Structure 1
Amino acid sequence: MKILVTGSSGYLGARLCHALLRRGHSVRALVRRTSDLSDLPPVKDDFELAYGDVTDYRTLKDACSGCDIVFHAAAVVEPWLPDPSRFVSVNVGGLKNVLEAIKETKTVQRIIYTSSFFALGSTDGSVATEDQVHNEKFFCTEYERSKAAADKIALNAASEGVPIVLLYPGVIYGPGKLTTGNMVARLMIERFNGRLPGYIGSGNDRYSFSHADDVVEGHIAAMEKGRLGERYLLAGENASFKLVFDMAALITGTKRPKFSLPLWAIEAYGWLSVLISRITGKLPLISPPTVKVLRHQWAYSCDKAKLELGYSPRSLKEGLEEMLPWLKSLGVIQY
């Protein structure tokens, strides 16, 4: 099949392109002129680049032309941006453009939309399923707000008969680009370089950790077996960052942190980071919205994806045993 991948130069999108090519599909990657293409396959007969942007309807429509499947993975995933309107224009406007483009294209049989666990909202003491709908009482980040808004649009499109499957990955981690989307790897770099000497908070946080390769396999399974209009959580093991740090110490034979950094101190550091960011233009690793996320729990069940898609997430320990030696091989951590 001819497949378009938006967000193809990103952490998840690039791996998806490689996986689709290995399965014999023809892939068209939507990229911006300024995109880093280093992780993408070389251009050849079965892989081509389409220059454009999900916020530019004309280029998006051209990219959709002749395609059978669209994987819409493009998103702004930063917890904080100096211009928050970017979240709406890309995460909400981009989805609207994709839905409109496929209506005009006529050839697209299915859209696989990469949403986020944030679109479902925090769980705070429970383990949520695909039935959870964001209560919209509060949003920790503008990213969360935009993904919840986009979720409504995608669900409405599904109710109108648009052939869309909605996917909700957890915290994606593993080898790959060291972008904001690879938060676990970036925190490990800070930890092993002494810039994050303690645990983050008291350990009451909880997230669903999803290895990047498992999420890619879940996307392809959704293309092949997903029911149209359905939601699937591509979640993984639910754990705290304290457990992540303890596992990392065990795997590497290093000492565990001896103390916890209180969230108020991390928030103060976040405000300082934002101030520095406004001066330097470099986005911060930690910002006040990040701390708001840390004050809640985000635990989910992937039982539906296991049953219907054959989704099979690896354990957090297995994932870290792969990722940490990879970071060491890059020279960005030592142990």
Structure 2
Amino acid sequence: MANIFVSGGTGFIGAYLVKRLIAANHIVHVLSRGSHASDSPQLQFYEGDITSAEAVQKAMQGCERAYHLAGYARAWHRDKQYYFQVNALGTQNIMQAAIAQGVKRVCLVSTAGILPPAVHGIPVNETARLRPELHTTYERSKWMGEQIARSYQQQVELVIVYPTKVYGPGPIDESNSATLMMRDYLSGKWHVIPGNGSGIMDYVYVEDVARGIELVMEKGRAGEAYVLGGEPASYNRFFELLKKLSQVYHPLFHVPVPLIYGITYVEWLKAKLGYKPLLTPEWVRKIPYDWSKSSEKARQELGYRARSLEEGMQLTLHWLKANPVEIFDDK
């Protein structure tokens, strides 16, 4: 049993990780921007966020290990510097607090989005040369956060996680966009297949990622990063599987990428007026690529395993159908 700090412990992946840590009899300190009532004596909430060095220090007191999952992962913010304030400088606060509090080991959860697309269908691993011109503002800020974290790794053990596209039961928003597409398809709101449908994403079920993060903390080599992926699938494959498993047959239409770009410029004008855009050009330009990732390093070194897309999608559909309020609630 240990005292463990978790930032982002009320978020999509973080909530699953916290449950696992409690089940393993750890005392978990969760830093959260809102106030929460704990339903377990092993779970302690600390109000604040990672942009406050004081709040981070307070929440991390007495902890031996720290998981850093908190971040700003949405597709747009009216102030682009906010991404760096949260994802980069927030990470600096985490690392400095870990050193000050005598934390032995930190697991930083970054994103596989910083890695380049696959070439000739060969999945990309942790050593691939980056393609910064394809990075979104979010990904650039996460990369900066990783470099800041690495600058402290002579003072505290650091391990890094690169999850791919995470999906499954949980909050349905931009950080869980695959489940959002599934929900909207079931309710008849989603009729689009991006581009010609050949663009590939690597889909990983949320419970598998949470277990993988634990494995990285327990067994990962200090200073190393580990991709935690699942199964690559084209958009065409994703929606074929969704129809097959759900037995729901709504019409779907391929929308050319140039047309989607055109829509983003209308959305950009809306953003200038203070409205949140549905799409941004930096995310659209990622559509045609193959974002397959290799989790072989995590499999070989840590014993990481992830279920198939079909199994994970079936579990997610079962949850969506059992919780209809989640299907129709856009909040």
Query: What TM-score results when the alignment is normalised by the length of structure 2?
Result: 0.91
Q: How does 1:37-56 map to 2 (within 5 A)?
A: 37=36, 42-56=38-52
Q: Which runs of 5+ in 2 are unaligned?
A: none
Counterpart code for 1:85:
Q
Partner of 1:23: 24
Question: 1:67 corresponds to which residue?
Answer: 63
1:151 and 2:152 correspond = no
Q: Residues 205 and 268 of structure 1: is their aligned pair in 2 closer, same or farther, counting only changes over 3 Å?
A: same
Question: 1:131-150 to 2 correspondence within 5 Å?
Answer: 131-136=127-132, 138-150=133-145
Q: CA deviation at 1:133?
A: 3.9
Q: Give a deviation string over 1:33-68, Cα, whole Å, max 9, x none.
A: 3x7x5xxx8344211111111111111111111101
Q: Residue 202 of structure 1 corresponds to which residue in structure 2?
A: 196
Q: Normalising by the residue count of structure 1, what TM-score does the alignment of the two structures yield?
A: 0.90
| Cα deviations by residue, 1:255-307 (Å, 9 ceiling, x for unpaired) | 374531112222333344454566575x4443322212213321110011111
Given candidates 316, 320, 327, the residue that maps to 2:320 is: 327
Counterpart AA for 1:320: M
Check the 8 A contact 2:66/2:106 in 1, yes or no. Answer: yes
Q: Is the 8 A contact 1:118 1:148 kept in 2?
A: no
SS in 2 for 1:196: coil
Displacement of 1:324: 1.3
CA distance in 1, matches of 2:96, 2:316: 39
The residue that corresponds to 1:246 in the other structure is 240
Superposed counterparts of 1:94-105, under 5 Å: 94-105=90-101
The one-letter code sitting in structure 2 at the alignment partner of 1:22 is A
Aligned ranges 1:1-335 → 2 under 5 Å: 1-33=2-34, 37=36, 42-106=38-102, 108-125=103-120, 126-136=122-132, 138-158=133-153, 160-255=154-249, 257=251, 259-276=253-270, 281=275, 283-331=276-324, 332-333=326-327
Tell me, in whole angstroms, the C-alpha distance in 2 between the residues paired with 1:116 and 1:274. 25
Aligned residues: CA RMSD: 2.1
The farther-off stretch of 249-258 and 84-93 is: 249-258
- Structure 1 residue 333, shift from structure 2 partner: 4.5
Q: How far apart are the structure 1 equivalents of 2:272 and 2:312?
A: 35
- Structure 2: distance between partners of 1:70 and 1:242: 39
Distance in 2 separating the partners of 1:111 and 1:192: 40
User: C-alpha separation between the residues in 2 aligned to 1:275 and 1:8?
Assistant: 35
Q: How many residues align?
A: 325
User: What letter is aligned with 2:137?
Assistant: E
Structure 2 counterpart of 1:225, which letter? K
Instruction: Give the Å deviation of 1:99.
Output: 1.0
Q: 1:297 to 1:311 in 2, by over 3 A?
A: same
Contact kept in structure 1, 2:134 and 2:282, CA below 8 Å: no
